Structures are given as C-alpha cells and as structure tokens.
C-alpha cells in the first residue's frame, strides 16, 4: 500500500509513474538500473497488464532484465533493437544543466551506452538528487581488473591538476571482495566533494589507461521528472525555463505494492 511507503519511495514512485506515460506502443525503450528505475519497470509492467501496452525493453543490467521479464515486459538486446526511441533511468545527482552523476548501482557502462543510443533520455529522481554543483555523491569510474592499482594511481595523479575539492579514491567492495560489474570490471569511487568542470573531468578520466567509462553523463539527458513525497512531480527539459508541475494520484489498491 502506498500509505506504507516512505516519502522518498513515494517520490520515486510518482516520478516513475509519470515517466512511464512517455512510453507508447511499438517503442524500443532503454530500462535503467537502480531503485528509482525499478519503480519505472513496475509501472510499465502495470501498463502492460492493465492496458495491453506492447513495447520492447533494453535493460541496462541483469537485475533489471530479470525484473522486466517477471512483469511481462518483452526484453531484447541493444543489438536486436539497433536504436532506441527512449531511455528512462535514474540518477545519483542532477545539476541545473541536466548533467548527471550515475553509477551508484554499478551499471554505468551499460547505462551510458543505452542512453546515448536513444533519441531521448528521460531521468527520474526524487527531489534530493537535485544539486547546484555535481560532486557530493562519489563519482564512479569503471576500470578493468588488470592493473587496477596502477590505474588508480594514475587517476589520483591526474586529479591534482583539476578543479575538485577532494581527491580521495576507493575501490568499491562487495563484502571482502571487489565489486564486479556485469562486464567483469571493477569500480573506483572518486570522493571529489565538488566538481568545478565536469566536462573537463569526464574527458580526462577516459584518457587514463585502464579506465573503461566514467559516471559523468554530460549533454545526454533531455528531460527530468522529479518526484516529491506528497505526490507532486516537476518536469524540466534541456531547453530550460521553469518547467511544469503536476500531481499524481497514489492508488492505495495498486498492485505494484503487493510484494513490497
């Protein structure tokens, strides 16, 4: 029941529910990874069940693919899709220019590939993800396992000349072992506190040997849907302006919540 959800979960739910309305019959849709994206997949599953919506989803992780299949969504690979009409995903931080930090869930590589292979990327998030300047959330960088410590040292050296407040890096762990991505890589989290020039940093990171991809999504997001715990949603797009605000009714009998 929605009454049992925390304000943060309600905010994620209403953002996901509004964004799910962008999906139309016949579309090829990128499905993101993370807690907010999981709400989206649930909302789309409800549309499949109740409305007969038919679309093909390209998941950005194995766990998203599993959830989508469980909910009756047709899952295909990006190779099968060729190109996508739309990708909907969450974010860890969003600045005023709709630049993002992503990768808290460890799927940034597939997420960036899918997002950039789409006509449009829509980001869904709760209001706490909005920031003036990126960097408070640790920036994930996916690196190959071979030579990971050397890559980390090169990365730390490069950060000295960049406009960031912090320069500590850490290897993401899964218990006693390094976290491993779906592609078999590791993740270094950069604790930068504030990123003065996100575009410059993104370019620098991908020049370091051993770096596969970084979690800065620059000029990729076209629209954001921000949810609030009281049911309000704000819509903003890359053209700027004040955007628009709507209210989403929270259905207490919604089947989305029966297994939570």
Residues marked active site are found at: 111
Binding-site residue ranges for substrate? 33-36, 89-92, 102-105, 129
CA distances from 183 to 34, 97, 174, 255 (A): 17, 30, 16, 34
Q: What's the rounded Cα separation, in Å, for the pair 197 and 76?
A: 37
CA distances from 112 to 13, 84, 142, 154, 251 (A): 23, 13, 12, 23, 33
Phi-psi region of 161 (alpha: psi -120 to 50; beta: other; left: phi over 0): alpha
Please answer whether residues 81 and 125 qualify as being in contact, where contact means their C-beta atoms are separated by less than 8 angstroms. no
Q: 4: buried, middle or exposed (CB in 10 Å: 19+, 13-18, 0-12)?
A: exposed
Enumerate the β-bridge partners of residue 236: 224
Q: What's the rounded Cα separation, in Å, for the pair 94 and 72?
A: 31
Q: What's the rounded Cα separation, in Å, for the pair 159 and 165?
A: 10
């Amino acid at each position: 029941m929605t009454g049992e959800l925390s304000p943060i979960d309600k905010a994620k739910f209403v953002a996901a529910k509004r964004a799910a309305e962008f999906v139309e019959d016949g579309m090829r849709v990128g499905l993101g990874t993370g807690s907010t994206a999981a709400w989206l997949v649930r909302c789309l599953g409800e549309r499949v069940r109740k409305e007969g919506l038919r679309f093909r989803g390209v998941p950005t992780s194995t766990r998203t693919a599993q959830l989508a299949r469980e909910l009756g969504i047709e899952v295909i690979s990006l190779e099968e899709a060729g190109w996508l009409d739309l990708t909907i995903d969450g974010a860890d931080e969003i600045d005023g220019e709709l630049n993002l930090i992503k990768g808290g869930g460890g799927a940034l590589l597939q997420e960036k590939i899918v997002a950039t292979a789409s006509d449009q990327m829509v980001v869904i998030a709760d209001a706490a993800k909005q920031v003036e300047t990126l960097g408070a959330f640790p920036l994930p960088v996916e690196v190959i396992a071979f030579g990971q410590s050397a890559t980390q040292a090169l990365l730390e050296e490069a950060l000295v000349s960049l406009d960031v407040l912090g320069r500590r890096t850490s290897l993401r762990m899964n218990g006693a072992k390094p976290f491993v991505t779906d592609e078999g890589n590791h993740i270094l989290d950069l604790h930068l506190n504030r990123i003065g020039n996100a575009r410059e940093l993104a370019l620098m990171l991908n020049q370091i040997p051993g770096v596969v991809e970084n979690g800065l999504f620059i000029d990729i997001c076209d629209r954001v849907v921000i949810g609030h715990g009281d049911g309000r949603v704000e819509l903003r797009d890359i053209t700027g302006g004040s955007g628009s605000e709507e209210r989403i009714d929270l259905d207490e009998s919604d089947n989305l919540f029966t297994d939570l």
